[in-house]
Chain A
Amino acid sequence: MAQRDLRLVHDAASEPGPILPSSVLGTLIFVLTEIMLFAGLISAFMIVRGGTVEWPPPGQPRLPVEATALNTAALLASGLLIWMAGRAYRGDRAQAGGPFAAGLALGAFFVVFQGFEWARLLAQGLTLTSSTHGSFFYLIVGTHALHAIVALGILVWAFQLHSRRELRPSTFTAARTFWYFVVGVWPVLYLRVYL
């Protein structure tokens, strides 16, 4: 009789092995910590913002809400494409390359676009030390950008493995999981920090 326990080790003889491969489980645990990191940053931002009368503080530039909305759409589309690549990968692996590359390109576009926005904001006088507004903007968005760059690096590495036909499904799932986190946390940051 199969045990009705809550076991991560699946008992079916046909496919022995864990429900979640170790790399995916490890990534999920890491993502848990990362979500809490961003929850901490957002909490700090809400508290400091709540203590002010006027936000953004007088004399500080407004954030580019519309342009970043476009960029947000690009990032979400990238997440969708990577998801499609993951689905294709389960069937015909050759089919996965197209959406994979497109998703990577859109992700890179997001990071570069953010870079240009930063340059413009810096020129307008919003710096790390100009006000708590600037400090929080660069801290939160910068932390996200750092994650996006690292996640893109992992995806590029996975793409290279894929083109050499050496990419293991569990590695791909782990890499995608991290990218979904980067994509998924951004709308929350956009809604809280930009609007």
Chain B
Amino acid sequence: MRGRLAALVLVAGTLAPRSSHACAVCFSGADGARVAFLLTTALLTVLPLALLGGFAWWLRRRMRELDSDAREDVPVETPQSR
């Protein structure tokens, strides 16, 4: 628990300080572009994972359905067919 709290504080600490903006190579342009970079980074990172994860979840659910259907309909054990 304490370890988790410490990790949380550490992460929050790395995210919080605005003073790090003093760095020389960081662009000073419009604030909107900076926010947009952050937002689209999150979007691009999460979107493919969400799509693929959603598909995998749907597939798993569908498999379960078909499995239980198959057990009700066809009690005999059958070799898998393609």
A–B in direct contact per CB < 8 Å? yes
A positions within 8 Å CB-CB of B: 1-14, 16-17, 19, 28, 32, 35-36, 39-40, 42-43, 46-53
Contact A9 B59 (CB under 8 A): no
B positions within 8 Å CB-CB of A: 29-30, 32-37, 39-40, 43-44, 47-48, 51-52, 55-56, 59-60, 62-63, 66-67, 69-71, 73-74, 76-78, 80-82
Main secondary structure of the interface of B (DSSP, over half): helix
Which chain B residue lies CB-closest to A4? Answer: B67
Contact B43 A39 (CB under 8 A): yes
Contact B44 A39 (CB under 8 A): yes
CB<8 Å pairs between A and B, sample of 22? A1-B77, A2-B67, A2-B70, A2-B71, A3-B80, A8-B59, A12-B69, A12-B70, A12-B73, A12-B74, A13-B78, A16-B82, A35-B47, A36-B44, A36-B47, A39-B43, A39-B47, A47-B33, A47-B36, A50-B34, A51-B29, A51-B36
Which residues on B sit within 8 Å (CB–CB) of A6?
56, 59-60, 63
Q: Say how far B72's CB is from chain A's closest CB, in angstroms.
A: 10
Contact B67 A35 (CB under 8 A): no
What's the Cα separation between A79 and B26 when bound, in Å?
45
Which residues on B sit within 8 Å (CB–CB) of A53?
30
